[in-house]
Amino acid sequence: MAPSRAGAGAVLPVVVALLLGVVAAAAATGGARKMASHGEGANLKASPGAPAAGGSADQFRGKARLPSFAAPRRYELFLRPDLVACTFSGSVSISVAVSAPTRFLVLNALDLSVNRASIRFQALEPTEVVFFKDDGVLVLGFAKQLPLGEGLLKMDFNGTLNDQMRGFYRSKYLYKGKERNMAVTQFESVDARRCFPCWDEPAFKAKFKLTLEVPSELVALSNMPVANATFAGPLKTVRYQESPRMSTYLVAIVVGLFEYVEGMTTKGTRVRVYTQIGKSNQGKFALDVGVKSLNLYKDYFATPYPLPKLDMVAIPDFAPGAMENYGLVTYREVALLFDDKSSSASSKQNIAITVAHELAHQWFGNLVTMEWWTHLWLNEGFATWMSHLAVDSFFPQWNIWAQFLDRTTTALRLDSLEASHPIEVEIHHASEVDQIFDAISYDKGASVIRMLQSYLGAERFQKAMASYMKKYAYSNAKTEDLWAVLEKETGESVKDLMTTWTKQKGYPVINAKIKGNDIEIEQAQFLLDRSSGSGMWIVPITSGCGAYDTQKKLLKLKRDKLVIGSQCGDRKKGGNFWTKLNINGTGFYRVKYDDELAAALQNALETKKLSLMDKIGIMDDLYALSIARQQTFASLLHLLYGYRGEADYSVLSHINTVTTSIAKISADATPALAGDVKQLLIKILLSPAEKLGWDPKKGESHLDVMLRPLLLTALVQLGHGRTINEGVRRFNIFTRDRGTSLLPPDTRKGRIPRCDAEC
């Protein structure tokens, strides 16, 4: 799932009603029946596998997970959405395997009205129907133990197409000037239970056979292709092919008016992008990226895309950026649709990354799924890393790995706070899951994967990923399962290495000092508030000296000091002796150099010896060390002066981030000092801004198109008068003539101050 930059809105109070059965049905069983809706229960950690042969339904209150003595094998699901009344009704028939003595079936349901009289397991009717609303758990108790083996659980239910963008909900769109509703699902992480009663945990994989009854004129999409459809007046009944084994959070339905563009992969898989009527041309770029992504991932994982089709749909009202539903990926419109006339270059890039991210999930997440939400990072970290691998392959001119460092530095900043959390977070209740869809799971997860791939080597890493896919296809895996496959394929102690990065929060700063002709390094936990942390890591160290063909790789063990033998000859004789640790920022750590090493790097920067990623790395490390008061701001400003004349988008984007922060900090200094700092920052940014100018040039690069609004906005924020005046002039013309070329889509992103007079 691609994360949203905005919240999904307030969640309404839970309302679940169980409809009482008729008196005759109660009498027919000859026994008393209990039905209850229980309030808030204790948040307890529990073993999911302990069978419950007897006892009361209350034993299932407040548990972390559903018990495993009964598990679904196959769902037959019927749904009838009413897009006018904004309700839906349905029925489900679940093949359930009972593996241990029990008289209970325990599953999930939330915000549903379940018809009490319709519930059957084989020929048995429940004597207890108990709902724990705070857990979203439905407990069915029977008078006697259930037979071992597979049985059929059936029930009818109905619910509301809500406006909360979760579960089964309604989204509004305009068609011929009139507002209409479409029906959409968003089930990750624990909202399939809001659409139908189910075992709503990732480990309970099952096959799904879906039937929808919808208005005849509408397009009805689900995970699998349509098997057949029958028409009866204004309605049609659409039956879909049976799915492979999958988790409930990946089931998807979309019903509305759409048109599409279509393409095919090299293996003949049909790919479509669905849009509102009149917008299909805006889906062509995403379609191209989607087809290329499926082709690339098929080869990378040595495993074919497992479904007959892939649909991608633009939804007007959608909470996350996108959602990787198996075979039916849903997106915010802005994350899927690209208009050549009105969309920016940065939007184009974001669409490419988002599409590649969601389609990576078709393997890493859908085909092989985390066993429990504690291992969410396996889904999101890998999809984030893979999306950059794919986009770099499709658009090498974008320098996407240099831009990836924005994610790494974002995660480094968050993870230097005491309030951070490990990549692997124990989840004890469904209500906790959404809290870990954050930059630690996505960006730190992706960054440590990049670090591991760099250490093991691209070829060995890819071979291990292919083995992992084959071993756990259509099943579930834990983090430890991935480490085991990597160890088997590479012979490296991957678990010992990576556990230090996934099971504890934070990261180290590597202190590098010259000792004679060698460099001595040691580590300490880096915390922004200068407190002392106790964390220790096994650190993959890369080092280079004088040129990038002299790199070394080695492991820094937790507490030992490490001495790197000189790669640069005798330092006393001068020459090209700069040394850089963490080459190209592949490691998730910071480096603090002593004065002599720092001076040599400054010289390497000014003589243009460093790579783009290392220019970003030394800047961000020194910035963070300055914020933490482990270095001075004077040293940071001195380093920044070495970037004058820089023209690369990725480097200047990072300079912009750092300078914006410095400007805010220096605002508290004396006016004279604050002014001097601003002038220095303006001097760094003005030259590339003047070179680019305000107006696009024919044939200019994608990165230059993105750089222009970044620089103009930065100069406005720094108070550069000429830039402000020109921006106001162009904006005033634009307000009178929206068709003017003076503010093209990318430049409109720049922040222009409102001025009633000349600024």
Specify whether the CB–CB gap between 317 and 332 falls below 8 A. Answer: no
Q: Which residues are registered as beta bridge partners of 488? A: none
The Cα–Cα gap between 43 and 48 comes to 14
Amino acid at 373: W
Q: Which pLDDT does position 56 carry in this prediction?
A: 92
Largest separation between any pair of C-alpha atoms in the chain: 100
Q: Which pLDDT does position 550 carry in this prediction?
A: 64
* DSSP conformational letter for 364: B
What would the two tokens of residue 553 be?
A: 């790789």
Q: Is 357 annotated as a binding residue?
A: yes
The Cα–Cα gap between 747 and 733 comes to 14
Report the chain (759 residues): mean pLDDT per 10 consecutive residues.
53 32 33 38 38 81 95 99 99 99 98 98 97 97 97 99 98 96 98 99 99 99 99 98 99 99 98 98 99 99 98 96 98 97 95 99 98 96 98 98 97 96 92 90 98 97 98 98 98 96 97 90 92 90 82 74 66 68 97 96 96 98 96 94 95 93 84 85 94 94 96 93 94 88 79 42
CA dihedral (584, 587, 590, 592) in degrees, to 10, reads -70
Query: What dotted CATH number matches 507-618?
Result: 2.60.40.1910
Please report which residue ranges of 592-701 form alpha helices under DSSP H. 595-606, 612-627, 633-641, 649-666, 671-692
Alpha-carbon torsion 723, 726, 730, 732, what sign?
positive
According to the 3-state scheme, what is the secondary structure of 189-208? CCCHHHCCCECCCCCCCEEE
Q: Which pLDDT does position 40 carry in this prediction?
A: 34
Specify whether the CB–CB gap between 651 and 643 falls below 8 A. Answer: yes
358 is catalytic: yes
Q: How many CB atoms lie within 10 A of CB 69?
A: 22
Distances (CA, A) of 57 to 103, 140, 313: 10, 8, 42
Helix then strand then coil, % of the chain, to nearest 5: 35, 25, 35
The Cα–Cα gap between 363 and 306 comes to 9
Alpha-carbon torsion 444, 449, 450, 455, what sign?
positive
Q: Are strands 322-323 and 328-332 parallel, antiparallel or unpaired?
A: antiparallel
Distances (CA, A) of 661 to 248, 614, 637: 44, 20, 12
Nearest alpha carbon to residue 373 among 317, 430, 294, 316: 430
Q: Crossing angle for the helix pair 595-606 and 633-641, nearest 10 degrees?
A: 30
Nearest alpha carbon to residue 423 among 404, 438, 406, 408: 438
Secondary structure element (H or E) that encloses residue 541, with its range: strand 539-545
Query: φ and ψ at 98, to 5 degrees?
Result: -95, 120
Q: Which pLDDT does position 19 carry in this prediction?
A: 33
Q: Tokens 């790199």 label which residue?
A: 551
Alpha-carbon torsion 342, 345, 350, 353, what sign?
positive
Alpha-carbon Rg of the chain, whole angstroms? 29
Under DSSP, is residue 247 helix (H, G, I), strand (E, B) or coil? coil
The Cα–Cα gap between 89 and 70 comes to 26
Nearest alpha carbon to residue 218 among 184, 248, 251, 194: 184
Distances (CA, A) of 146 to 49, 61, 97: 17, 21, 10
Q: Which residues are registered as beta bridge partners of 152? A: 95
Per-residue pLDDT reduced to its tens digit, 341-395: 899 999 999 999 999 999 999 999 999 999 999 999 999 999 999 999 999 999 9
Specify whether the CB–CB gap between 255 and 247 falls below 8 A. Answer: no
Specify whether the CB–CB gap between 588 and 451 falls below 8 A. Answer: yes
Nearest alpha carbon to residue 620 among 636, 632, 607: 636
Options 128, 213, 358, 489, the catalytic residue: 358
Q: Which pLDDT does position 563 carry in this prediction?
A: 80
Looking at domain 369-493, what is its CATH homologous superfamily?
Neutral Protease Domain 2 (1.10.390.10)
Under DSSP, is residue 420 helix (H, G, I), strand (E, B) or coil? coil
Amino acid at 694: W
Q: Are strands 579-581 and 475-477 parallel, antiparallel or unpaired?
A: unpaired
Q: Which pLDDT does position 747 carry in this prediction?
A: 84
Residue ranges of domains in the chain: 369-493, 507-618, 643-759
Q: Which pLDDT does position 434 carry in this prediction?
A: 87
Half-sphere CA count of 25, side-chain side, radius 13 A: 15
Under DSSP, is residue 498 helix (H, G, I), strand (E, B) or coil? helix
Nearest alpha carbon to residue 190 among 109, 113, 101: 109
Nearest alpha carbon to residue 93 among 138, 146, 151, 161: 151
The Cα–Cα gap between 378 and 381 comes to 6
Q: Is 758 annotated as a binding residue?
A: no
Non-local (6+) Cβ contacts of 117 within 8 A are 19, 21, 22, 25
